[in-house]
Amino acid sequence: MKHIDVGMMQYRQLNEQIRESKAKQFILSSVTGQRYIGCAQKDKTITINGTPGNGLGSYLDGATLIVNGNAQDATGDTMNEGAIIVHGSCGDGTGYAMRGGKLYIRDSAGYRCGIHMKAFEERQPLLIIGDRAGSFLGEYQAGGTIIVLGMNQEGKAPVGYFCGTGMHGGTIYLRCDTLPQGLPPQVAVHDADEDDKALLFELLDEYCALFKLDKAQLLASHFYVLSANSTTPYRMMYTHV
Amino acid sequence: MNGYHQRTPLEGEVRIPSGCAISGIISRSGKRFSGREAISSIAVMHDRSNGLGGGFAGYGIYPEYADFYALHVFYYSSEAKRSCEDFLEEHFDLINLSKIPTTKHHAITDEPLIWRYFVTPLPTKLASSQLDENEYTARCVIKINREIDGAYVFSSGKNMGVFKAVGYPEDVGEFYRLDDYEGYSWTVHGRYPTNTPGWWGGAHPFSLLDYSVVHNGEISSYDANRRFIEMFGYSCTLMTDTEVITYMIDYLHRKQGLSFEEVANVIAAPFWSTIERKSQEEKEVCTYLRNTFASMLITGPFSIILGFSGGLMALNDRLKLRSLVAAEKDDRVYLASEEAAIRVICPEPDRLWYPSGGKPVIVTLEGQQGGQDGHQLPVSGL
């Protein structure tokens, strides 16, 4: 276990220290916006106290990052494998181009979460947001799974505008009673059925245990399932916004 | 930029990847505080700038001269200073004039002459111009910047001042000794110039009268905006896209009398598809503003903080292509590109939120709070 009091340390210095250390467990304190923490790490566990900077866990390749607080923009950018757990909220571009691993956010996340997310064989990225996501959730999504639980949204759609624009693969689950307005024609929607709920039961397992949520109660709510509508690929995508 | 040469290479000669940074702090009760907090906040975002520009605006800093326009001027030659002072004496009563106090700083070099004048329009000249004193002063400032080679008025409001330079913002703050000033609000900018040179006049904030703008982003509608605003007597002389935002806000708010919410609806107008879904009343307002001021829509990524007498407004482009975080604690409101830049000066805010794209956060001294449409976050952390 290695403890680093970060303060105003340069981000390069911090990341080199983590990379070059033989320790497997790290606890960082007073983190003040240092970028790229955990970048491309394979097998370490890093606990972050304070506010990590942009690009937290970018290209993550198997390590586990735990944030006690909020993270900033581009958390889990292009992550490949591993887990990022945020006991708070995230900024814009969360899970950008994620292609594997798990990204669990207790509260909310900003604009453009999970955009360009993709999947291949055993690499199946999973992004779960507890409360609400901003506009452009899952824009150009090509694979993987995004779940938004709308914990404080009282059944309203827990996303902003332009959800799933350009989506051509993967799945978005929204826990809400009303659909987001103006879903584009590339998105097909259905109400979650028994099979979907069974799958959600598995996908939410770790998340609910981590954040102490009643999974059965969550699953009793209504979910929408958004997926790519293969009958209208790309037609008139942005020409009328 | 006649007579102006930098020793450090200009943007275009070197490439240092980064982005801009902005931060703003206001005390809603009007309690004044030094520029140090703005320096501490922007220093956290050091890596977003590349040392080619930094600057501050402080409001409430000249209470002893509150009724006079404070002109901050860069001179690149003594001829420019003579011409400018002749012009000022012809048009204004000069109440006080001095060099702006600075400290030698190893990272701030090639400074021009930097002077400050507290002035009021000459009553006879003002009367014969048939203008109000704001319009009179604004026209004089534009005339100096356009016509006197090597003289740039970079601050011209009352009881406020802009301090800017080529350098990292935290160094610029030290250079101008901002610990010695107290204001009720501060904005600050760390610059990464895109497309345009890093030079003293091109650093942010951009200012006209008491409006000042710091901007993170890049306006793709710059020339459309510039051509439109120059029809109304403004002149874009500072070689950076952000300048035009300041003039558009001056035009819309001071001259057209739009509220700041309406200004936001013009420069970051919602998409037609978003307007479609609004209530009938909102639809009419948004449609009217978008049609009437079509050439004043700003496209491209931006997050800005506007300073004005008595308040701050933060605004993102409608797609929110740049980051912006807001927080409040007691009578203070904080705005910044990154949450870490807020928490370094306010570790435990009462409320923290991400404003939505195109939805302004407006904070005024009376305690009126905008940003209700923002996306509120629970405050977490240890």
How far apart CA A35 and CA A13 sit, in angstroms, is 11
Structural domain for B365, as ranges = 21-377
Q: If pLDDT is split at 50, 70 and 90, which confidence band does B9 have?
A: low
| Residue A235 maps to a domain | no
| Residue B333 maps to a domain | yes
| Residue A238 maps to a domain | no
Catalytic residue status for B20:
yes
* Smallest CA–CA distance from A132 into chain B, residue: B375
- From residue A26, alpha-carbon distances to A6, A50, A75, A81, B355 in Å are 12, 14, 19, 19, 33
Q: Phi and psi dihedrals of A221, rounded to 5? A: -80, 170
Q: Phi and psi dihedrals of B123, rounded to 5? A: -55, -40
> B297 to chain A: which residues are within 8 Å by CB?
none
Average pLDDT of the segment spanning B28-35: 96
Q: Which of the residues B343, B352, B376, B379 would you substitute to probe the A interface, choosing the one with the greatest number of A C-beta atoms within 10 Å?
A: B343
| Interface confidence (ipTM) of the complex | 0.92
What are the tens digits of pLDDT across the range A132-158? Answer: 999 999 999 999 999 999 999 999 999
Half-sphere exposure of A59 (CA within 13 A, CB side): 5
Cα first-last separation, chain B: 50
CB atoms within 10 A of CB B348: 11
Strand B33-34 relative to strand B54-59, pairing:
unpaired
The dihedral built from the CA positions of residue B155, B193, B20 and B170, taken in this order, carries a sign that is negative
Q: Is the pLDDT of residue A217 over 90?
A: yes
Is the backbone peptide bond immediately before A184 cis, with ω within 30 degrees of 0? no
Smallest CA-to-CA distance from B69 within B27, B121, B6 is with B121
The shortest CB-CB distance from A53 to any of B43, B338, B354 is to B338
Is B351 in the A-facing interface, judged by CB distances under 8 Å? no
CATH of the domain at A116: 2.160.20.60
Degrees, nearest 5: CA angle A128-A129-A132: 150
The shortest CB-CB distance from A88 to any of B47, B277, B381 is to B381
Average pLDDT over chain B, rounded to an integer: 90
Q: If pLDDT is split at 50, 70 and 90, which confidence band does B378 have?
A: very low
Q: If pLDDT is split at 50, 70 and 90, which confidence band does A186 have?
A: confident
Is A181 in the B-facing interface, judged by CB distances under 8 Å? yes
Q: Is the pLDDT of residue B368 over 50?
A: no
Q: Is the pLDDT of residue B372 over 50?
A: no
DSSP string of B99-136? Answer: EPP---BTTB-S--EEEEEEEEE-HHHHHHHT--HHHH
> A70 to chain B: which residues are within 8 Å by CB?
339, 352, 377, 380-381
- From residue B128, alpha-carbon distances to A165, B121, B131, B222, B254 in Å are 59, 11, 8, 35, 21
Selected residue with higher pLDDT from A183 and B18: A183
Q: How near does any CA of chain B get to the CA of A121, in Å?
A: 32
Q: Is the pLDDT of residue B241 over 90?
A: no
CB pairs under 8 A between A and B: 96
CB–CB of A33 and B339 under 8 A? Answer: yes
Percent of chain A with pLDDT over 90: 92
pTM of the model: 0.92
How far apart CA B209 and CA B161 sit, in angstroms, is 10
| Residue B4 maps to a domain | no
The shortest CB-CB distance from A51 to any of B274, B343, B377 is to B343
- Residue B315 pLDDT: 97
Q: If pLDDT is split at 50, 70 and 90, which confidence band does B340 have?
A: very high
- Residue A152 pLDDT: 95
- Residue B373 pLDDT: 38
> A35 to chain B: which residues are within 8 Å by CB?
47
CB atoms within 10 A of CB B194: 13
| Residue A236 maps to a domain | no
Domain count, chain A: 1
The dihedral built from the CA positions of residue B119, B123, B129 and B130, taken in this order, carries a sign that is positive
| Residue B371 maps to a domain | yes
Average pLDDT of the segment spanning B183-198: 86
Is B323 in the A-facing interface, judged by CB distances under 8 Å? yes
| Residue B138 maps to a domain | yes
Q: Is the pLDDT of residue B333 over 90?
A: yes
The shortest CB-CB distance from B339 to any of A72, A161, A240 is to A72
Longest dimension (CA), chain A: 55
CB atoms within 10 A of CB B337: 31
CATH of the domain at B92: 3.60.20.10
| Residue A206 maps to a domain | yes
- Residue B198 pLDDT: 78
Q: Which of the residues A28, A37, A56, A70 would you substitute to probe the B interface, choosing the one with the greatest number of B C-beta atoms within 10 Å?
A: A70
Average pLDDT of the segment spanning A13-42: 97
> B18 to chain A: which residues are within 8 Å by CB?
none
| Residue B15 maps to a domain | no
Q: Is the pLDDT of residue A123 over 80?
A: yes
3-state secondary structure at position B183:
strand
What are the tens digits of pLDDT across the range B53-93? Answer: 999 999 999 999 999 999 999 999 999 999 999 999 999 99
Is A184 in the B-facing interface, judged by CB distances under 8 Å? no
Q: Phi and psi dihedrals of A34, rounded to 5? A: -70, 135
CB–CB of A69 and B272 under 8 A? Answer: no
The dihedral built from the CA positions of residue B290, B296, B302 and B308, taken in this order, carries a sign that is negative
How far apart CA B60 and CA B330 sit, in angstroms, is 20
Average pLDDT of the segment spanning B215-221: 91
Average pLDDT of the segment spanning B140-163: 96
The shortest CB-CB distance from B320 to any of A68, A132, A134 is to A134
Is A92 in the B-facing interface, judged by CB distances under 8 Å? yes
Distance of CA B18 to the CA centre of its chain: 20
What are the tens digits of pLDDT across the range B275-289? Answer: 998 999 999 999 999
Among the residue ranges A10-19, A21-30, B160-169, B232-241, the one predicted with the least confidence is: B232-241
- From residue A33, alpha-carbon distances to A54, A110, B25 in Å are 7, 17, 18
- Residue B381 pLDDT: 28
* Smallest CA–CA distance from A66 into chain B, residue: B381
CB–CB of A134 and B47 under 8 A? Answer: no
- Residue B257, token pair as written in the block: 């009398």
Q: Is the pLDDT of residue B192 over 90?
A: no
CB–CB of B380 and A88 under 8 A? Answer: yes
CB–CB of B340 and A53 under 8 A? Answer: yes
Q: Is the pLDDT of residue B380 over 70?
A: no
What are the tens digits of pLDDT across the range B259-272? Answer: 999 999 999 999 99
How far apart CA B199 and CA B138 sit, in angstroms, is 23
The dihedral built from the CA positions of residue A182, A187, A189 and A192, taken in this order, carries a sign that is negative
Give the containing element (helix H, strand E) for B306: strand B302-308
CB–CB of B340 and A181 under 8 A? Answer: no
Structural domain for A71, as ranges = 2-228
- Residue A158, token pair as written in the block: 């827990």
Domain count, chain B: 1
What are the tens digits of pLDDT across the range B287-324? Answer: 999 999 999 999 999 999 999 999 999 999 999 999 99
The shortest CB-CB distance from B375 to any of A11, A108, A240 is to A108
| Residue B280 maps to a domain | yes
* Smallest CA–CA distance from B271 into chain A, residue: A241
Give the containing element (helix H, strand E) for B97: strand B92-99
Q: If pLDDT is split at 50, 70 and 90, which confidence band does A238 have?
A: low
Q: Is the pLDDT of residue A50 over 80?
A: yes
| Residue A160 maps to a domain | yes
